[in-house]
Amino acid sequence: MKVEYLAQFIDITILKPHTTIQQIEETVKEAKKYPFASLCIPPFYVPLVYNLLKGSNLKISSVVGFPLGYQQRDAKLFEASGLVKSGASELDVVMNITAFKSGMIDVVRDELSSIVLENSGIVVKVIIETSLLDYDEKVNACKLVIDSGAHFVKTSTGFGSSGATLNDVRLLKSIAGDCIKVKASGGIKDLQNTLAFIEAGASRIGTSSGIEILKELKKKGMSPE
C-alpha cells in the first residue's frame, strides 16, 4: 500500500480547545506534504488556513455545532455558511443529539437537510456521536442522515465518552450501503486501527495522528518507493 493511497482516506484533525496558532501553522506545513482528504480545523482558524493553503490541493474541513450539537438551527446554518464563505470545502456537523433522543426526528432532519441545501457543492459529514446512542438509535440516526442528503455519517466527535468502534462502523456501513459513506473518528491513532476501520467499511478516517500513521506505514516497509 502506498502512502499516497492511504492519505486519501484521512481527514487530519487538530481540534483541541487549547490548540495554538503555532500548532495550526505547523500542522498545515506538515499536512501539505501528503494528499490527505482534508485538514479539519476549528472554525476560528479557517480564514487563516485558507490563506496558508493557497496553491495547495489540500481541502479545508471544519466543524458545525461542535462538539455537543444542541445549538439552535439558525445558529448552525449561520456557522455553516460562514465557514464556506471563509474557505471550507467540507463540513462536519454535529447532529442535534438531544432533539434526536427526544424523538424530534423531523426537527433534526430539517436542520441537517437545510445545511446540505444551503451549502450546495460542499461535502457534509454528520456526526451522530455513537457513544451516546443505543443500537436502534444508531440505526435510526444513520437512516436520518441518509434522508437529509448528507454525504457521510460520522461516528464521533472525539470528545464523547468513547470514539469509533469497529462494530459501529460495520453497522453504519450495513445501513448506509452505497447511499452515503461512513467516517470513523475518535481514538484512531495508529496504522493497525486505521486499516481495520477501512476494512470495516470506513471511507474516511478522522485522526489527529495522520502524519504519524503515514510515517508508520513507511517505517514498516508497507509503502513501496
Q: How confident is the model at residue 221, as a pLDDT?
A: 74
Give the start-to-end residue ranges of the domains of the chain. Answer: 3-219
Structure confidence by residue, pLDDT tens digits, 169-205: 999 999 999 999 999 999 999 999 999 999 999 999 9
Structure confidence by residue, pLDDT tens digits, 115-129: 999 999 999 999 999
Known catalytic residue: 154?
Answer: yes
Which of 76, 125, 181, 183 is catalytic? The answer is 183
Does the pTM surpass 0.85? The reply is yes
3-state SS, the chain, equals: CCHHHHHCCEEEECCCCCCCHHHHHHHHHHHCCCCCCEEEECHHHHHHHHHHCCCCCCCEEEEECCCCCCCCHHHHHHHHHHHHHHCCCEEEEECCHHHHHCCCHHHHHHHHHHHHHHCCCCEEEEECCHHHCCHHHHHHHHHHHHHHCCCEEECCCCCCCCCCCHHHHHHHHHHHCCCCEEEEECCCCCHHHHHHHHHHCCCEEEECCHHHHHHHHHHCCCCCC
Cα–Cα distance measured from residue 121 to residue 136, given in angstroms and rounded to the nearest whole number? 31
Which of 125, 154, 173, 181 is catalytic? The answer is 154
Which positions of the chain have pLDDT values less than 50?
225
Q: How confident is the model at residue 106, as a pLDDT?
A: 96
Known catalytic residue: 92?
Answer: yes
Name the CATH superfamily housing domain 3-219.
Aldolase class I (3.20.20.70)
Which of 76, 92, 138, 168 is catalytic? The answer is 92
